């Protein structure tokens, strides 16, 4: 038992030291391997990747760019294989395309098809915990590339609303593609949820913006000055021509990887904002609860509670019923109240404020559809707590508490965003480069991990505390769950969270401001080692760590290495990273780490 079983939650390891290597470095005693890279074939007929001969037709069959969420689903009756489901959040055109090789419009359409999701069969390796891509792309019926031309069904109370209709979709119930898919979650019924996050960046204008939506566009950062120029290759990204198209993004998407011909769903009942992701827990009542973050400075944490109860088992009938659970229920937003600083802990109580059910709005002056399509504006009216960029929010299956990564907020402490007990840091210690001294910067630069203790997942009250105030442990403002700060790893900008089957928290980071590369950390949440943050993996240069997922009886740590080499000024010809070192340019990839044999 214990460490010899390769259980990553129980293994003793020496933390990886902060570094700037262009490498994935795992703790001594562990190995890792690349499972799949940008451009690798996903569906039968996909051509081999050739960076100098990219095309939209090839990209729609190959693994997309900038992998983020990572899900691994067992296949019933096929214990040697599993399904890997991955988001492709966005593209780095500067790093992807050799200069002068492609026209501006070619770059736009190839980049477009590098977004979406991939479903890929993977196969166990010989070393316990290791996995590889199944080389036969038709070994299971499930390999799939979901891309910008894949049809999605808009479902739930707002589906069919006039403000979701476009010239090519007069029903307001059918959308092509999903964009900026960030984090996500696997449901108990074997589907994958994925969050459409910074979708505003894809929309441009050729003339005026529709004056009916001035306030709504503004609240979602839709300015008509997108960064991609996609309106030149598809007019639906031109706000002047299609003012409703952006309302068809910003949703939680549900994909059933076991029904490769089924249309994925955009769930309007879960509200529209810059969705980081969604994670589902089952309440004592049998209702399902989805926890969600809106990743923007000063935005909110949400949850959805289903009207109906989960159907047990994995029969087709049960799965069909469960796939309707996210269509009816109640959407809430969180308010956090502090109990004061006398106890030397950032903590207090909270309440979930209802916004609407599938039949009734609880926000004055707004209909159910208004609340769901313009959720940020609805929430603004009921006084929730403005948080420091809520990212992943997920329930620990062992202790039932909810853990939220609050990644950072450089504006915290400004006049418009004063501190409160749940967002207490207005000045942070940061480091310009590895080895440099700590210096002070305004705002919350290193982030928090928030711990919510629900009275009942389906209920409206909870307790909370900041389990981690991240940063260099030498900085006075940091807090590591009460653990001895001389014995922890520095941690900065938590983004995604995961749990092993002992209930230890695993955290990945995005945007380290302590001078070293991003990485993944293990943190016990209970017992004498609560708060003992130890770094398990460091990323290559310029990469963020995404996805982390502990799978296969806690023997495998899957993660996504997103945007290796994304450093100001880097170009295809002048790369800051060549990881995973199979080419002379970087390739975002999914990796699995496991104990050395």
Smallest separation (angstroms) from ligand FEO to the CB of 279? 14
Which residue of 92, 234, 238, 276 would you call a contact of ligand FEO, by CB under 6 A?
276
In the shown chain, the binding pattern of residues 133 to 162 toward ligand FEO, with x for contact by CB under 6 A and - for none, equals ------------------------------
Instruction: Give the three-class secondary structure for 567.
Output: coil
Subset of residues 509 to 528 that bind Ca ion, contact rule: CB under 5 A: 510
Could you say whether residue 339 binds Ca ion (CB under 5 A)? yes
| Residue 343 interacting partner from ligand FEO, Ca ion, none (CB closer than 5 to 8 Å by kind) | Ca ion
Which residue number places its CB atom closest to Ca ion?
A: 510
* Least CB distance to ligand FEO at residue 451 (A): 19
Shortest distance in whole angstroms from residue 308 CB to Ca ion: 30
Task: Report in angstroms how near the CB of residue 495 gets to ligand FEO at its nearest.
Answer: 6
Binding partner at 294 among Ca ion, ligand FEO, none, C-beta below 5 to 8 Å by kind: none
CB of 451 to Ca ion, least distance (A): 13
Cβ-based nearer residue to ligand FEO, 122 or 546: 546
Q: In the complex with ligand FEO, which residue's Cβ is closer, 89 or 394?
A: 89
In the numeric block, which tokens belong to residue 328?
A: 């009816």
CB of 364 to ligand FEO, least distance (A): 30
For residues 347 and 495, which CB has a smaller minimum distance to ligand FEO in the complex?
Answer: 495
Stretch (H or E) spanning 376: helix 375-380
Sheet of 30-37, strands arranged across: 30-37, 589-595, 556-562, 544-551
| Rg value, the chain, Cα | 22
Which is nearest to 422 in space by CA: 455, 400, 444? 444
Q: Give the Cα separation of 21 and 370 in Å (integer).
A: 49
Measured from the CB atom, the residue of 177 and 390 that comes closer to ligand FEO is 390
* Residue number with CB closer to Ca ion (49 or 251): 251
By CB under 5 A, which span of 154-162, 182-190, 308-316, 436-444 interacts with Ca ion? 182-190
Task: Give the Cα separation of 186 and 316 in Å (integer).
Answer: 17
Bridge partners for 215 per DSSP: none
Please say which residue, 56 or 182, places its beta carbon nearer to ligand FEO.
182
- Give yes or no for a contact between 241 and 206, defined as CB atoms under 8 angstroms apart: yes
The verdict on whether omega for the bond into residue 244 sits within 30 degrees of 0, i.e. cis, is no
User: Considering all CA atoms of the chain, what is the largest pairwise distance in Å, rounded to the nearest integer?
Assistant: 66
Site for ligand FEO in 485-504 (CB under 6 A): 495
Residue 377 touching Ca ion (CB under 5 A): no
CA angle (286, 288, 293) in 5-degree steps: 155
Q: How many residues bind ligand FEO (CB under 6 A)?
A: 7
- Considering only the stretches 52-60, 342-350, 442-450, 569-577, report the one whose residues sit in contact with Ca ion under the rule CB under 5 A: 342-350
Q: Closest approach of Cβ 370 to ligand FEO, in Å?
A: 25
CA atoms of 511 and 408, how far apart (whole Å):
9
Smallest distance, Å, CB 221 to ligand FEO? 13
CB 73 within 8 A of CB 83: yes
259 sits near ligand FEO (criterion: CB under 6 A): no
Among 295, 394, 451, 472, binds ligand FEO (CB under 6 A): 295
Q: Which entry of ligand FEO, Ca ion, none binds 339, CB below 5 to 8 A by partner kind?
A: Ca ion
Per CB under 5 A, does 347 bind Ca ion? yes
Q: Residue 347 or 510: which CB sits closer to ligand FEO?
A: 510
* CA-to-CA dists, residue 540 to 94, 131, 145, 354, 549, angstroms: 18, 21, 26, 43, 19
Three-state secondary-structure class, residue 597: coil
E strand intervals along 6-149: 25-26, 30-37, 67-74, 81-88, 116-124, 131-133, 144-146
CB–CB of 388/420 below 8 Å? Answer: no
295 burial (CB, 10 Å; 0-12 / 13-18 / 19+) is buried
- What does the alpha-carbon distance between residue 245 and residue 468 come to, in Å, rounded to a whole number? 39
Which of 22, 92, 134, 197 binds ligand FEO (CB under 6 A)? It is 197
Residue 392 CB, shortest distance to ligand FEO, in Å, is 8
Q: Is beta strand 192-196 parallel, antiparallel or unpaired with respect to 181-186?
A: antiparallel
List the interface residues with Ca ion, window 472-501 (CB under 5 A).
Answer: 495
Concatenating the DSSP letter of every residue in 274-312 gives -EEEEEEEE-TTSEEEEEEEE-SBT--EEEEEEEEEPPP
3-state percent helix, strand, coil for the chain, nearest multiple of 5: 15, 35, 50
Distances (CA, A) of 165 to 70, 149, 154, 160, 175: 32, 17, 11, 7, 10
User: Which one of 27, 82, 158, 182 is in contact with Ca ion (CB under 5 A)?
Assistant: 182
Among 92, 196, 294, 391, binds ligand FEO (CB under 6 A): 391
The CB-of-183 to ligand FEO minimum distance in angstroms stands at 7
Binding-site partner at residue 345 among Ca ion, ligand FEO, none, CB < 5 to 8 Å by type: Ca ion
Among 22, 40, 89, 518, binds ligand FEO (CB under 6 A): 89
Q: How far is the CB of 172 from Ca ion (least distance, A)?
A: 29
Query: At a CB cut-off of 8 Å and minimum separation 6, what does 384 contact?
Result: 300, 301, 333, 334, 335, 353
Q: Supply the minimum distance, in Å, between the C-beta of residue 483 and ligand FEO.
A: 27
Applying CB under 6 A, does 388 fall inside the site for ligand FEO?
no
Q: Minimum distance from CB of 189 to Ca ion (Å)?
A: 24
**Residue closer to ligand FEO, measured from CB, 195 or 350:** 195
Phi and psi angles of residue 280, each rounded to the nearest 5 degrees, phi first: -105, 135
Interacting residues toward ligand FEO by CB under 6 A: 89, 182, 197, 276, 295, 391, 495
Interacting residues toward Ca ion by CB under 5 A: 182, 339, 343, 345, 347, 495, 510
């Amino acid at each position: 038992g214990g460490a010899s079983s390769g259980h990553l939650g129980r293994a003793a390891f020496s933390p990886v030291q902060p570094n700037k290597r262009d490498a994935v470095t795992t703790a001594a005693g562990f190995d890792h391997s690349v499972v799949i890279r940008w451009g690798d074939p996903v569906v039968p007929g996909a051509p081999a990747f050739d960076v100098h001969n990219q095309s939209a037709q090839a990209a729609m069959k190959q693994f997309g760019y900038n992998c983020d969420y990572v899900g691994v689903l067992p296949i019933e009756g096929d214990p040697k294989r599993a399904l890997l489901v991955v988001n492709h959040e966005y593209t780095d055109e500067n790093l992807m395309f050799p200069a002068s090789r492609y026209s501006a419009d070619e770059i736009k359409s190839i980049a477009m098809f590098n977004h979406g999701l991939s479903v890929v069969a993977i196969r166990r390796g010989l070393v316990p915990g290791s996995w590889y891509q199944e080389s036969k792309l038709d070994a299971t019926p499930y390999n799939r590339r979901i891309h910008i031309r894949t049809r999605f069904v808009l479902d739930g109370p707002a589906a069919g609303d006039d403000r979701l209709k476009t010239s090519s979709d007069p029903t307001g119930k059918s959308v092509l593609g999903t964009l900026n898919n960030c984090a996500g979650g696997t449901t108990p019924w074997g589907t994958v949820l994925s969050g459409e996050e910074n979708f505003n960046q894809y929309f441009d204008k050729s003339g005026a913006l529709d004056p009916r939506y001035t306030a709504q566009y503004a609240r979602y950062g839709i300015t008509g000055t997108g960064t991609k120029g996609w309106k030149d290759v598809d007019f639906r990204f031109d706000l002047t021509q299609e003012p409703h198209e952006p309302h068809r993004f910003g949703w939680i998407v549900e994909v059933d990887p076991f029904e490769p011909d089924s249309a994925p769903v955009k769930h309007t009942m879960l509200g529209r904002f810059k969705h980081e992701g969604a994670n589902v827990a089952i309440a004592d009542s049998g209702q399902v609860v989805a926890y969600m973050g809106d990743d923007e400075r000063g935005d909110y944490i949400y949850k959805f509670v289903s009207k109906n109860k989960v159907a047990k088992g994995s029969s087709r009938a049960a799965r069909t019923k469960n796939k309707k659970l996210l269509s009816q229920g109640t959407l809430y937003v969180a308010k956090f109240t502090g109990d004061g600083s006398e106890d030397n802990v950032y903590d207090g109580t909270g309440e979930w404020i209802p916004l609407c059910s599938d039949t009734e709005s609880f926000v004055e002056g707004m209909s159910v559809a208004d609340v769901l399509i313009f959720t940020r504006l609805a929430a603004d009216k009921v006084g929730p707590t403005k948080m420091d960029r809520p990212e992943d929010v997920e329930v620990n299956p062992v202790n039932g508490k909810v853990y939220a990564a609050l990644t950072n907020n450089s504006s915290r402490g400004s006049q418009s965003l004063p501190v409160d007990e749940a967002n207490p840091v207005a000045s942070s210690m940061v480091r310009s480069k590895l080895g440099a001294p700590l210096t002070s910067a305004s705002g919350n630069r290193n982030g928090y991990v928030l711990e919510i203790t629900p009275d009942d997942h389906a209920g409206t009250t909870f307790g909370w505390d900041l389990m981690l105030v991240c940063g260099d442990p030498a900085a006075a403002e940091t807090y590591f769950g009460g653990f001895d700060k001389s014995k922890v790893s520095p941690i900065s900008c938590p983004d995604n969270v995961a749990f092993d089957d002992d209930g230890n928290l695993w955290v990945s980071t995005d945007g380290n401001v302590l001078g070293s590369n991003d990485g993944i950390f293990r943190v016990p949440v209970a017992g004498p080692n609560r708060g003992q943050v130890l770094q398990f993996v460091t990323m290559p240069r310029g990469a963020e760590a995404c996805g982390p997922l502990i799978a296969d009886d806690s023997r495998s740590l899957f993660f996504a290495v997103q945007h290796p080499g994304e450093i100001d000024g880097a170009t295809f010809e002048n790369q800051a990273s060549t990881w995973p070192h199979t080419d002379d340019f970087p390739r975002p990839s999914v990796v699995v780490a496991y104990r050395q044999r």
